[in-house]
Structure 1
């Protein structure tokens, strides 16, 4: 079995100068943090409430509360409108991805509440089935975007537009919330 420590290694991120590469890298981080989430219930069952668990939970929460929403915003504001404008028949696929963003956020909220309650000592364990469903759905969503959205964006959006999108993506992360 993987130790929780093995799941906490840092994943380097590419530059916003290549926004599609950045979005792919974000999906690698999604998979990383989904792996951590998947491991948590078993790790907790074996090791209980520990400092390592609390640190891992803090990292997971930080990712899905800050980076995850920024990633969705990047796609929704930078890619979706341009794709629909240039390929109107893509609107249904874009609507599906938007709906998935909303559904994933709702599923995350429930898991977030559990993680917070566990951190406060109000829960002895986590709902492994809810976590497994969330991570499965998120991985499938990321794969759909990698299979369709990012390649289409690369075909339909010019280099100058992508560079400008990358600058806006970077600004989103430096602007105080």
Structure 2
């Protein structure tokens, strides 16, 4: 199977490059979320706030969901099969985190979507509280992955396995981009 034209070959070198890049983007977007809450409190839902909210919604509704699916597919099963109690416990915690993050996002995203659409029905105090929980959990989750789980997985997934992982991840993302760009889709 050849590489589709819309896939960056550099992204295919190592699946962990894709996962690490998502963490970098997510940390940036978490900072933008905190800045958005501050902006809404001081300036309100101006055009910049609407743009920020739209970017945040897009990232956490698509990129992060793909990222979590990739971890559940490639990283966690390999580590859970090792029989190491500490690693298994960390994997179980991260899987629970994925559920909690999704639940928090389902609470947070409609309010952010309202901001992005220029609607004013959101409650700033509720939005602020939900954002603080989401930001804290996201930071803790990323820290555990980067300090413990990813190093464990990188030590066990080698060469071809990692490049196959990267190729598959990039191809699925490209297919989702094509689907999103197709006429009649939002």
Given the two structures, how large is their TM-score scaled by the length of structure 1?
Answer: 0.85
Alignment partner of 1:49: what SS? Answer: coil
On the 8 A contact 2:111/2:122 being kept in 1, the answer is: yes
Tell me which of 102, 108, 113 is aligned to 2:110.
113
C-alpha RMSD of the superposition: 1.6
Distance 2:33 2:140 in 1: 16
On the 8 A contact 1:17/1:166 being kept in 2, the answer is: yes
Give the deviation of 1:159 after TM superposition. Answer: 1.0
Distance 1:92 1:175 in 2: 34
Consecutive unaligned residues in structure 2, runs of 5 or more: 1-9, 180-186
Given the two structures, how large is their TM-score scaled by the length of structure 2?
Answer: 0.81
1:9-55, Cα deviation, whole Å (9 max, x unpaired): xxxxx723221122122111111010011111211122112111111
Distance 1:117 1:20 in 2: 34
Q: Does residue 1:98 correspond to 2:95, yes or no?
A: yes
On the 8 A contact 1:117/1:123 being kept in 2, the answer is: yes
Consecutive unaligned residues in structure 1, runs of 5 or more: 1-13
Give the deviation of 1:94 after TM superposition. Answer: 1.3
Distance 2:123 2:46 in 1: 12
Q: How many residues align?
A: 163
- Equivalent residue, structure 2, for 1:158: 158
> Which stretch has the larger CA shift, 87-96 or 75-84?
87-96
Give the deviation of 1:92 after TM superposition. Answer: 2.5
Q: Does residue 1:63 correspond to 2:59, yes or no?
A: yes
On the 8 A contact 1:41/1:128 being kept in 2, the answer is: yes
- Equivalent residue, structure 1, for 2:121: 122
Distance 1:83 1:158 in 2: 13
Tell me which of 31, 34, 40 is aligned to 1:38.
34
